[in-house]
Structure 1
Amino acid sequence: MKTLAIVLFALMYVLMIAVPKYRPYYALSVAAIFLVSGILPVGSLMSTINWNVLLMISGTMIIVDYFIDSRMPNLLADILLGKSKNVMWVTILMSLFAGVISAFIDNVATVLMVAPVGMAICKKLNMSPVGMILSIAVSSNLQGAATLVGDTTSIMLGDYANMNFMNFFWMNGRPGIFFAVELGALMTVPVMMYLFRKDTAPVSSTERTPVTNYVPTVMLLTMVVALIIASFIPDTPDMINGIICCVLAVVTIVIDYFREKKSDRAIKAIENLDFETLGLLTGLF
């Protein structure tokens, strides 16, 4: 059985690398074979799946979807543009902005959130968006490991190592990975200053994007605070982080429903869930 399990596991990863488009199907198919062959007892199926990770990712995705739709990131980008002296600093600040967001929001969601803003700024300044978009993407990828909720990998590894939110800041009497990641982020500033040293055209902006809904911002901040508080409470349930994220996601949906008197937005948020990632993780667990 062990040999069969290893062979199936290796085959799954080979297929994932060779044809990544169907990764969730490979993982779920191999998981099904594990169950049918008896490698994994059917009775232990529910306990094997890491529900805490799945709930954290699902809840965070829903809140982030509302956050993007509220146009709050656009307002923050407008503020950064107004604070910049020239094009070079626009690129640097937008990259750092993407990195800060990525520390609390999934990398892909961060790029989807910030890249359109960067494109709009480049169009407004009549400049090529390539440099700014690449900087945003790299910065987003770099800082995803800064906190427990910054990336799917952080959530999975943190859960496996029994790490709570604060362990990313301080662990075993020493500074955590957060400070190493942020130090790396700061070191990108002189690199970007050199790469974009010729972009010295002055910029100015007084525009402010109107925010349509402040609830997602409040819920996102509440989620971070709640995860911090939960990390100090002893003997919490294993799924406490997932419960926090999902409860706040449901609260966001309910408040929006009563504000708009329509269910369209809630349906859209659920449809925008990354079911491929959730399916992939379910199969891997």
Structure 2
Amino acid sequence: MTASTQAIFATSVFLLVYAIIVSEKIHRTVIALIGAGVLILAKILTPEQATEAIDFNTIGLLIGMMMIVGITRQTGVFEYLAIKAAKRSGGHPLKIMASLGLVTAVLSAFLDNVTTVLLIVPVSFAIAEKLRLSPLPFLIVEIIASNVGGTATLIGDPPNIMIGSATHLGFMDFIINLTPVIIVVYVLTIFLLKLIYRRQLVTAPELQAAIMEMDENEEIKDHDLLRRCLLVLFLTIAGFALHQFIHLESSVIALSGASLLLLLSRQDPEHALHAVEWPVIFFFAGLFIIVGGLEHTGVIEKVARWSLDLTGGQLVPTAMLILWVSALASAFVDNIPFVATMIPLIHDMGRLGGIANLDLLWWALSLGACLGGNGTVIGASANVVVIGMAEKRGLHITFLGFMKVAFPLMIMSIILSTAYLLIWYHLHAVFTVAVAVGGLALGWLLGLIDRRAAARRAE
């Protein structure tokens, strides 16, 4: 095949795989692996090039955290937190909704979003049943909170894991740069959801009293294992916070934490590995190979050049384009393949446009992809999981019914993110200039002191 034919072939495979993923006619892992296999069989990529295209840092981080969470969930601590939050709300439905949202957001910042909703949603159904209310408001809040909370940290959402692995940005960079705007987005989102559902969340005082009778301590099944899990979680998160300074990849930290927990808990490794969502892992592997085909054939570089022509190569317009395109695209397609495509594109945009510091673009991609997932029921994996759990219990959440509530809230979060990134950019520029001026001033002052000292010695 000629170079242009290879580019057309790789693009066709990518678009076909993407279309099938969106349609959900074939499991996304199956079609991703088929797409990767087709590229190798067609000799677009050699087996060695395909292996090099896989980001094993992302894979290792996901496996390590899945193992830690899988062992920790056996203790019942997550159910304990959900019931505790409900009781602290005094049994008032609106306060319970906000409390469960907060627990979901915080857990999603440090655990996989899907795992978080799998743990919190069953408790929400039990609480709604005791209050004789529809669980719908609780589920909507938990879906949105999981995606908002997951945006705040490196390990909170797969797009952030992928961005962190592909850049110099570490755990503390995500917290420092993204958590401030995420807190504002979360608070405003919960406030608006309270206004939307305030009339639906009214119940009798005696039913509220039933919530206060729930015993959260009964959920803790193994206190000894809980202590060991909390110790390993603390050490792992501390490792993430320090990994840039100790020069260890985040995957090494996560896998080391998982290995330590296996040792301390004396769990059967085979049982612990069942907690790993292997279809997700192989989906990532296939996806990385497909995107590697686009990169190898020069397709991504051409798209990067077109994007730079559109924005004139200016950093701020480029960031705004990435933010809004990411948000709108992630509302209707899975944000994981979208981010996998955008990462090499942004690298090429930086190289071709001569942009030395790409941080603003990475924050735009993270905010757009993660928050955009709140737009529709198919925008993020957690959304699909909760909708499926609801349907099994006889509660049907329609596409338009969810979108009517969630899409405006998503747009609101992106507007806030736009304002935040513009402020961040200008403050960052002011800070950089201040540091440069301060450095020059300090150099001048030290030089002056040195000259005066030399003059005194000469006297």
Q: Equivalent of 1:131, from 137, 146, 162?
A: 137
Q: Tell me the alpha carbon deviations over residues 163-212 of structure 1, each in whole angstroms, 9 at most, x when there is no partner.
A: 21111133xxxxx1222122100112321332343435553526232422
Match of 1:59 in 2: 64
Match of 1:244 in 2: 253
Q: Tell me the alpha carbon deviations over residues 206-226 of structure 1, each in whole angstroms, 9 at most, x when there is no partner.
A: 623242231223322322111
Q: Write the distance in 2 (CA, Å) between the matches of 1:15 and 1:208.
A: 43
Q: What is the root-mean-square deviation in Å for CA atoms of aligned residues?
A: 2.0
Q: TM-score, normalised by structure 2?
A: 0.55
The structure richer in helix per residue is: 2
By how many angstroms is 1:73 displaced?
1.1
Please tell me whether the aligned partners of residues 98 and 111 of structure 1 are also in contact (alpha carbons under 8 angstroms): yes
By how many angstroms is 1:18 displaced?
2.4
Q: Equivalent of 2:153, from 147, 152, 162?
A: 147
Please tell me whether the aligned partners of residues 94 and 198 of structure 2 are also in contact (alpha carbons under 8 angstroms): yes
Please tell me whether the aligned partners of residues 141 and 190 of structure 2 are also in contact (alpha carbons under 8 angstroms): no
Q: Write the distance in 1 (CA, Å) between the matches of 2:19 and 2:85.
A: 44
Relative contact order, higher structure (CA 8 A, sep 6+): 1
By how many angstroms is 1:132 displaced?
1.1
Instruction: Tell me which moved more, 198-207 or 28-37.
Output: 198-207
Q: Equivalent of 2:264, from 231, 255, 260?
A: 255
Segments of 5+ residues of structure 2 without an aligned counterpart are 1-5, 289-459
1:185 is aligned with what amino acid? Y
Aligned length: 270
Q: Write the distance in 1 (CA, Å) between the matches of 2:58 and 2:9.
A: 27
Please tell me whether the aligned partners of residues 99 and 139 of structure 1 are also in contact (alpha carbons under 8 angstroms): yes
Match of 1:227 in 2: 240
Match of 1:173 in 2: none
Instruction: Tell me which moved more, 146-155 or 219-228.
Output: 219-228
Q: Write the distance in 2 (CA, Å) between the matches of 1:75 and 1:137.
A: 20
Q: Write the distance in 1 (CA, Å) between the matches of 2:107 and 2:20.
A: 33
Task: Tell me the SS of whatever aligns to 1:89.
Answer: helix
1:22 is aligned with what amino acid? H
Please tell me whether the aligned partners of residues 106 and 149 of structure 2 are also in contact (alpha carbons under 8 angstroms): yes
* Greater C-alpha radius of gyration: 2
Structure 1's 30 and 152: CA in aligned 2 closer, same or farther, altered over 3 A?
A: same
By how many angstroms is 1:155 displaced?
0.6
Q: Tell me the alpha carbon deviations over residues 101-147 of structure 1, each in whole angstroms, 9 at most, x when there is no partner.
A: 11111111110011112122223333322221221122112221111
Residue identity over aligned pairs, in percent, reads 24
Q: TM-score, normalised by structure 1?
A: 0.87
Task: Tell me if 1:281 matches 2:284.
Answer: yes
Please tell me whether the aligned partners of residues 91 and 135 of structure 1 are also in contact (alpha carbons under 8 angstroms): yes
Structure 1's 268 and 241: CA in aligned 2 closer, same or farther, altered over 3 A?
A: same
Match of 2:75 in 1: 70
